[in-house]
Structure 1
Amino acid sequence: MGNASRGFEELVDEAAAVSVEGWDFSWLEGRATEERPSWGYRREMSRRLAGASAALDIQTGGGEVLAGAEKMPSVMVATESWPPNVAKATALLHPRGVVVVADDDEPPLPFADAAFDLVTSRHPVTVWWEEIARVLRPGGTYFSQQVGPASVFELVEFFLGPQPEEVRRARHPEDARRAAEKAGLDVVDVTAESLRTEFFDIGAVVYFLRKVIWMVPGFTVEEYRDRLRELDALIRREGAFVAHTTRFLMEARKPGGGSSDGGGA
């Protein structure tokens, strides 16, 4: 899509040099596409935030998703562990009245019991269910979009080879349901989708693997240059490399307290 005339080395060098800070994927515009989930997480998150009095966004990244909310509750806090993202999220969210807390993403969360009536999180790396249950008020809601099992594994397995079943099954929504229930939350809804993802040039692949570091752990251009050349040839031959992203939407509620300010399906 516009880069077919550019050579392998040029595309790879460009993608290897560009910044991958934050959680903004606009650099991939025209170079890769990912089908969006049907539920519209940002819109639904925004609606719930508008009805909350105190909310927490866990693993906010650079704050880009939270910043899209139309209205913030009177108390709005976000946590993030990676220092460059902490700085970026603070600059982006502080003008909206959001306090960004640098947190190691290990329990306990640095908040008192029953501090929030809404906890949100988009694509958390780890979910500490007991801590979420602890910081939610009775009747409070947890609302999250998460990466599902074997997401973009066509790309992962191109570089790493076939993965064992336990790795392919990790992050299964039913496991999340059981973990939430074990922590004492009532699961309101779990919805999962598989979404078509296309990479139109090898630079897009390099950028993606540099940014989403857990896909191919320890990825470097030097280490995988031969496989990158093979993938470059495949993309030029077929026009794109096709993979499938998996996502699931989850809403859970802490029992008691009547209806939640931040809840609602």
Structure 2
Amino acid sequence: MEENSFYNKVGKINGWNFDHLQVTTEGIAKEISQEVYQLCSPTDIVLDIGTGGGERLLNLADSVLLAVGIDLSQEMIKKAQNNCTIQNVRFAEMPADNLLFPDQFFDVITCRHAPFFAKEVERVLKQGGTFLTQQVSEGDKINLKQAFGRGQAFEIADGTLKERYRSAVEDAGFDQIQVHDIEEVEYYQRPEDLIFLLKHTPIIPNFGEQEDDWIILEKFITEHQTEQGIKTNTKKFLIVARK
């Protein structure tokens, strides 16, 4: 409930679009959007679980027959529907553990930085279809979490979520499962870019509400300021599974 409340708040303000942030990265890594573009064909029906404001799904629309985005957050879906002017895209408020679609309906299912339930994904995916999920690892933004002494999955061993989701996908009956780690150095160009990130993601829970948060952030910026920007890291993983 706390998480859903957070995403409803973000949905009202921003959807899930961080494109205006000034941030550069070092490193070459697989990204789910690149994988999906290469995979999809004009006859495919695609489902995006945890679609947020729908920005990435809308970018995919020209490449597929039908694109459907779902999210548990009512405000995120409102934002997605307001963003949508494309005929072959639909958005709906729906929980990931009870997908209201027929069996074997989708050719491709994606899930980016959101919970999913592997058995439901397997049920609504066509035989021969592909499921792709990109998730945030426990080691993401680790220097920020260490500075604040708290954070998203801060005290959980790195790799725990990856193994849990890989195992769930395997148990659901998928084969040809590939797992890719995604690690990059990030440089936020301005303090306001970093502040926006912290305000609109759960990296540091309730950022700004604790008395020392702004003092800690100011010290963090001073200690991690480089010529390229304010330095932190991104750590994610990508699972690609074929039914």
- On whether the aligned pair clears a TM of 0.5, the verdict is yes
Given that 1:46 and 1:68 are in contact with CA atoms closer than 8 Å, whether structure 2 keeps it comes out as no
- The normalised TM-score by structure 2 is 0.81
Given that 1:21 and 1:84 are in contact with CA atoms closer than 8 Å, whether structure 2 keeps it comes out as no
Which SS does the other structure have where 1:69 is aligned? helix
Tell me by how many angstroms 1:132 deviates. Answer: 0.5
Residue identity matched to 2:62: K
Residue 218 (structure 2) pairs with residue 218 (structure 1): no
Query: Which residue in the other structure is 1:6 paired with?
Result: none
Structure 2 CA distance for partners of 1:93 and 1:219, relative to 1, 3 Å: same
Partner Cα separation in structure 1 for residue 205 and residue 15 of structure 2:
18
Higher relative contact order (CA 8 A, sep 6+): 1
- Cα deviation 1:9-49 (Å, max 9, x = unaligned): xxxxxxxxxx85122223322xx323475334323312323
Query: Which residue in the other structure is 1:81 paired with?
Result: 72
> Where does structure 2 lack aligned partners over 5 or more consecutive residues?
1-11
- Cα deviation 1:81-130 (Å, max 9, x = unaligned): 2233212212333414211011244x111212222121112222x12111
Residue 110 (structure 2) pairs with residue 113 (structure 1): no
Partner Cα separation in structure 1 for residue 91 and residue 150 of structure 2:
39
Tell me by how many angstroms 1:201 deviates. Answer: 3.5
Tell me by how many angstroms 1:51 deviates. Answer: 5.0
Structure-to-structure mapping, 1:221-236, within 5 angstroms: 223=211, 224-235=213-224
Given that 1:54 and 1:73 are in contact with CA atoms closer than 8 Å, whether structure 2 keeps it comes out as yes
Aligned length: 228
Partner Cα separation in structure 1 for residue 80 and residue 103 of structure 2:
25
Partner Cα separation in structure 1 for residue 110 and residue 56 of structure 2:
11
Partner Cα separation in structure 1 for residue 166 and residue 87 of structure 2:
33
Residue identity matched to 1:73: V
Tell me by how many angstroms 1:56 deviates. Answer: 0.8
- Alignment partner of 2:171 out of 182, 199, 206: 182
Tell me by how many angstroms 1:242 deviates. Answer: 2.0
Structure 2 CA distance for partners of 1:94 and 1:185, relative to 1, 3 Å: farther
- Percent identical pairs in the alignment equals 26
Given that 2:49 and 2:116 are in contact with CA atoms closer than 8 Å, whether structure 1 keeps it comes out as no
Which structure: larger Rg?
1
Residue 124 (structure 2) pairs with residue 131 (structure 1): no
Query: Which residue in the other structure is 1:57 paired with?
Result: 48
Given that 1:46 and 1:71 are in contact with CA atoms closer than 8 Å, whether structure 2 keeps it comes out as no
Residue 96 (structure 2) pairs with residue 99 (structure 1): no
Given that 1:62 and 1:86 are in contact with CA atoms closer than 8 Å, whether structure 2 keeps it comes out as yes
Residue 42 (structure 2) pairs with residue 66 (structure 1): no
Partner Cα separation in structure 1 for residue 33 and residue 113 of structure 2:
12
Partner Cα separation in structure 2 for residue 51 and residue 37 of structure 1:
28
Query: Which residue in the other structure is 2:81 paired with?
Result: 90
Partner Cα separation in structure 2 for residue 115 and residue 94 of structure 1:
24
Partner Cα separation in structure 1 for residue 201 and residue 120 of structure 2:
25
Query: Which residue in the other structure is 1:44 paired with?
Result: 35
Structure 2 CA distance for partners of 1:90 and 1:252, relative to 1, 3 Å: same
- The normalised TM-score by structure 1 is 0.75
Tell me by how many angstroms 1:197 deviates. Answer: 1.1
Query: Which residue in the other structure is 1:193 paired with?
Result: 182
Query: Aligned-pair RMSD on alpha carbons?
Result: 2.5
Residue 18 (structure 2) pairs with residue 25 (structure 1): yes
Partner Cα separation in structure 2 for residue 188 and residue 78 of structure 1:
24
Given that 2:27 and 2:183 are in contact with CA atoms closer than 8 Å, whether structure 1 keeps it comes out as no
Tell which deviates more after alignment, 92-101 or 45-54.
Answer: 45-54
